[in-house]
Amino acid sequence: MALTEKDILLFQAVPWSRESWSTPLLTHPLLATRLVHSGSARGSPAQGSDLVFATRTGTGRGIESHTFRVETHWDLSSWTRALVQGAHAAAELIKEVSIGCTLSRQDVRLTLHYEKGFTVTMEQVDPAGGAVLFRYPYEKLRMSADDGKRNLYLDFGGPEGEMVFDLHSGPKPVVFVLHSFLSAKLTRMGLLT
């Protein structure tokens, strides 16, 4: 495994050449990946037990999980810190993710911005963009959910009620990006360490 400023690269074997570095087995965006476990494989840090960390990545097909074994507590700490800080740095670097989708039988574009929150615009052919239908900061989000297939549900407590976005593909990448943006913002504010 290797980390870049935006991606996690997974290799079948240690890459020893420039060519092998350029051909990972899998590439996952850090922004759509989260650390879900760090510690002993057996749950308690028993002497001699394997040290592992696990990731989950939101993909168009659902959630992809990976478990990695490390040799020392220092390795475990280094990798987990690199993953969490890398995802937060990717959020600050990428800043914005946008997806074409359908809301109430209208073609729209849902944009998640690291600083500004959510914007829903009419989907337009014009590169200047469509009219803004809704704009909400993260603080207004009351509820988010997904059906695991193609729908993302967002409720901002506004008069439109719960909005159902048909993403035309699996919703998990958008959900994981949302969580990465929120985690990075909370960490930056000092509310998470």
- State residue 129's pLDDT score: 65
Rounded to whole angstroms, what are the CA distances from 169 to 3, 31, 152, 179?
A: 26, 18, 10, 18
CB 143 within 8 A of CB 118: no
- State residue 190's pLDDT score: 83
Q: CB-based contacts of 146: which residues, under 8 Å, 6+ apart?
A: 152, 153, 171, 172, 175
Q: What is the pTM for the complete model shown?
A: 0.86
- State residue 37's pLDDT score: 92
The burial of 163, by beta-carbon neighbours within 10 Å (0-12 exposed, 13-18 middle, 19 or more buried), is given as buried
pLDDT along the chain (193 residues), means of 10: 95 91 94 92 66 94 94 95 96 96 96 96 74 95 95 94 95 96 91 69
- State residue 60's pLDDT score: 87
Hey, what are 91's tokens?
């959020």
- Find the angle CA(128)-CA(182)-CA(177) to the nearest 5 degrees: 60
Domains of the chain (ranges, CATH numbers): 2-94 (2.30.29.30), 96-189 (2.30.29.30)
